[in-house]
Amino acid sequence: MARIVVLDGYALNPGDLSWGEFEALGRLTVHDRSTPVDVLVRAAEADVAMTNKVAFDRRTIDALPRLKYIGVFATGYNVVDLAAAAQRGIVVTNVPAYSTASVAQMVFSHLLNLAQPVAHHAEAVRLGRWTACEDFCFWEKPLIELDGLTMGIVGFGQIGRATARIARAMGMNVLVHDVFPPANPGDGIESVDLDTLFGQSDVVSLHCPLNEQTEKLVDAKRLAQMKPTAFLINTGRGQLVDERALADALNADRIAGAGIDVLADEPPPADSPLLAAKNCHVTPHIAWATRAARARLMTIAAENVRAFLAGNPRNVVDR
C-alpha cells in the first residue's frame, strides 16, 4: 500500500472538503503546514508527497530516497526542482485548469470594484453620509461604465480566454497578446503586440506564466505606456509586476487604480509598497480558492495519483 503524505493541506482543505479520495489510494497522513525541516521527517517514508507551496529543492529530494512521486496542488510547479526530480526518476504532476472560472470571476470582482465601488458607497451609507445628503443620490468616487472600453489581456490561455469571454459579454473590446498568437481569437478580440496593448487598453489583465521573459514585465516603462485612466489587474503571479514601480505610478496618478490578488512575497511584509498605494486593492491570493475550484483541484490531484499508481501517470511536468 502506497504511503501518501500531504505536507500543507490547509489552504486546499481548511475543513470544508473531504480527503476521502486520497484515503482510498493508500495510507494517508495529512499535515496542515510543514517547514523545510518538517519535510525531511514527514516525507521520509512516503512514496507519494503532495505539496502546495512547500518547496522540494535538490537537497530535499536527495534526502528522500524512498520518494517516487511529487504531486503539486496547483497549476504552477516552480516549487519543485524538476531537474533533480527527473534525475531521481521521481514523477512530478500538477493540476491544470481547475480554477479557470473562479480566477476569471475574480478579475471582474476587482474590475467592478474599481469601476463602480459598491463596497465603498455601501459603507458611506452605513456611516450616515447618504442620510446627511441634500440630494436623492451621491457618489464619492467616479462611476465608470465598462461597455465600449478596451480590455488588454496578456496571456491567452484558458483563463485569458475565459476573461475575454466575460469582457465581450459586458460590451468591452478586447486586445490580447500571447507568445503563440491565436489565429482566430474571436469576435471583437484582436491579437496585438505589447506596446499596442498597454497603450490602448483601459484595463490590462495579466494571465501569462512567470518565466525569465515575463518577470517584472509590468515595470516603470510599461506603466508609463498606460493611460492615466487605466486599471491594472493581476491574478497571475506577483513577480509579473515591479511592485515599487506600480506603487509609484499609482501614488503619482499615472494610472488610475489596480486590483491585485498576488504579490511577490506571500504573505507580504508590512512595508510592501502596494499595501499603502493609492487606489490599490489587494486581496490575499484567493482567486483560486472558491469551494468549487478547490473541490475540482482535490479530485484531479487524486486522479493524478491514482493514474501514477496504476502505471499511467498523467499531467506530468518533469518529462
Cβ neighbors of 207 (< 8 A, separation 6 or more) are 153, 154, 155, 156, 157, 159, 160, 163, 235, 236
Q: What pLDDT sits at residue 144?
A: 98
Query: pTM of the prediction?
Result: 0.94
Q: Tell me phi and psi for residue 139, to 5 degrees.
A: -145, 145
Q: Which regions in the chain score pLDDT beneath 50? A: none
Q: What pLDDT sits at residue 244?
A: 98
Grid cell in block for residue 190: 484582436
Q: What pLDDT sits at residue 319?
A: 82
What digits encode the pLDDT tens for the residues 115-171? 999 999 999 999 999 999 999 999 999 999 999 999 999 999 999 999 999 999 999
| Residue of 145, 266, 291, 314 with catalytic role | 266
User: For this structure, is 266 an active site residue?
Assistant: yes
Q: In angstroms, how far is the first alpha carbon of the chain from the final one?
A: 25
| Residue of 244, 254, 285, 306 with catalytic role | 285
Largest CA distance in the chain: 74
Q: What pLDDT sits at residue 74?
A: 96
Q: Which helix (H) or strand (E) holds 93?
A: strand 91-93
Q: What pLDDT sits at residue 183?
A: 87
Contact present, 299 and 21 (Cβ < 8 Å): yes
% residues pLDDT > 90 (the chain):
98
Domains of the chain: 3-98+291-309 (3.40.50.720), 100-282 (3.40.50.720)
Q: What pLDDT sits at residue 316?
A: 98
Q: What pLDDT sits at residue 15?
A: 97
User: For this structure, is 207 an active site residue?
Assistant: no
Q: What pLDDT sits at residue 165?
A: 98
Per-residue burial over 200-236, b if 16 or more Cβ lie within 10 Å, else e, is bbbbbbbbbebeeebeebbeeebbebbbeebbbbbbb
User: For this structure, is 126 an active site residue?
Assistant: no
278 backbone φψ class: left, alpha, beta (φ>0; ψ -120 to 50): beta
| Residue of 237, 281, 294, 296 with catalytic role | 237
